[in-house]
Structure 1
Amino acid sequence: MTLIDTKRALRADMAARRQSLGESMRRAAAASLRDLFFLEAPIRLPAVVSGFWPIRDEIDVRPLMDALVDAGAQLVLPVVQGRGQRLLFRAWRPGEPLEAGVFGTLQPPASSETREPDALLVPMLACDGEGWRLGYGGGFYDRTLADLRSRRSVTAIGVGFDLQLVPEVPHGADDQRLDWLLTDRRACAFV
């Protein structure tokens, strides 16, 4: 099997695992994610933090984003600029309008201020104990992290359900490791 085939198979398996979670478990997971973030404090606030609007069956990071704003963070949300490009980040506060983006996402309008994050909450399908993350396959976060890290220090925090932690995520030369993993049951830094 090629790297692409191996990743494709793991994506399908992990998407099915995530879909199996019930609504009450999802709500509890979102609250637990928020609480663990502030218990473990993977970043110092105030900071510019990139959140994301959850799609499909992703863990709901909106309670965490609300709490980050209350703690003094400036939120930004990612905007897909086009295939093969890195993400752009626009300022946003809970309650402000959003518009439709690609892949079913919501994003701040073009009139919103563009800012670069100090830390990124990164959606994922899977993560392993070394900090390798499996996303949806577009490479947007990998390109973005590579670009940001070439110029300054940023913290990438993979967020998801604890069942998304796997023994090994296949990875290639263009994949970027996470600095932290935050789930509904754990928060840990990768060395």
Structure 2
Amino acid sequence: MSQCHTPTIYDYKTVSEQKSFLRKRAKDALKEYCADSSLMEQTADSVLTSVTNSLEYKEASLIVGFMPMNDEVNIIPLLERALKDGKKVAVPRMSVSSNDMEFYYIEDLTSSFTCDNKYKIKEPSPDCKILKAEEIPLDALVLIPGLVFNLEGARLGRGKGYYDKYLSRLSDVGQRKLCGVCFTICVTKAVPMEENDIRVNFLLNEYGFIPLKK
């Protein structure tokens, strides 16, 4: 590649190389983007409004969410609103010894939590009630973080496989409301997919809550 050439995914032959390229590009872009605290607050407000106005949210009895990292969309106001609206809310707790996780119900965004884990992500206390995968209803809105998405629902996570493993446990996964959460700068055209990768069917970013192509 010449010095004036801007690399793209098509410069890499293997799926592994393509994923590594996309992850690095997204992380580099997010460093500057997420340093703007005003922009982050605006995004959180926009996300809250667009989701709570959607039919998918209004019909959901359960919001399956996550505790955002510093370079992820802040959905905490959305989780707080869901609790206030009388919906059940669950967030993940990671296994110490493997790349597995389980979701636990939370009652609030303070006392339900323990110290941060090795990834510096807040987790629900093990004293919280576990939400078994087979108990997640079809009306649940499942919010899924990711580094890169496209408009066909392809997702690229951080490479540890937590979500791909967990989502594979859900029955009728094709009928579920799976919503990828990211900033618009992390939406791209081409995202490599492998056999076990699961697509989302909604995308949530600062511009709205968007149904995706099948």
Asked if 1:89 is matched to 2:103, the reply is: yes
Q: Judge conservation of contact 1:124–1:135 (CA < 8 Å) in 2.
A: yes
Q: Judge conservation of contact 1:45–1:73 (CA < 8 Å) in 2.
A: no
Paired position in structure 2 for 1:144: 166
Paired position in structure 1 for 2:211: 189
Q: Judge conservation of contact 2:112–2:128 (CA < 8 Å) in 1.
A: no
Asked if 1:98 is matched to 2:120, the reply is: no
TM-score, length-normalised on structure 2? 0.82
Deviation string 1:88-136 (CA, Å, 9 cap, x unpaired) is 0111122324122242111111111011443321111111010001110
What is the alpha-carbon root mean square deviation over aligned residues? 1.9
1:42 to 47, 56, 61: 56
Flag structure 1 segments of 5+ consecutive residues without an equivalent.
none
2:71 to 34, 57, 66: 57
Question: Structure 2: how far apart are the matches of 1:5 and 1:40?
Answer: 37
Give the 3 Å change call, closer, same or farther, for CA 70–125 of structure 1 in structure 2.
Answer: same
Q: How many residues align structurally?
A: 190
Asked if 1:7 is matched to 2:23, the reply is: no
Aligned-residue sequence identity (percent) comes to 22
Paired position in structure 1 for 2:84: 70
Question: Structure 2: how far apart are the matches of 1:2 and 1:131?
Answer: 21
1:27 to 27, 41, 65: 41
* Superposition misfits of 4+ residues, deviation over 4 angstroms: 150-153
More relative contact order in 1 or in 2 (CA 8 Å, sep 6+)? Answer: 1
Amino acid at match of 1:88: E
Deviation for aligned residue 1:79 = 1.2
Paired position in structure 2 for 1:18: 30
Give the 3 Å change call, closer, same or farther, for CA 15–41 of structure 1 in structure 2.
Answer: farther
1:133 to 148, 155, 162: 155
Paired position in structure 2 for 1:115: 131
1:172-183 residue pairs with structure 2 within 5 A?
Answer: 172-183=194-205
Please identify the structure whose Cα radius of gyration is greater.
2
TM-score, length-normalised on structure 1? 0.91
Deviation for aligned residue 1:42 = 2.8
Flag structure 2 segments of 5+ consecutive residues without an equivalent.
1-12
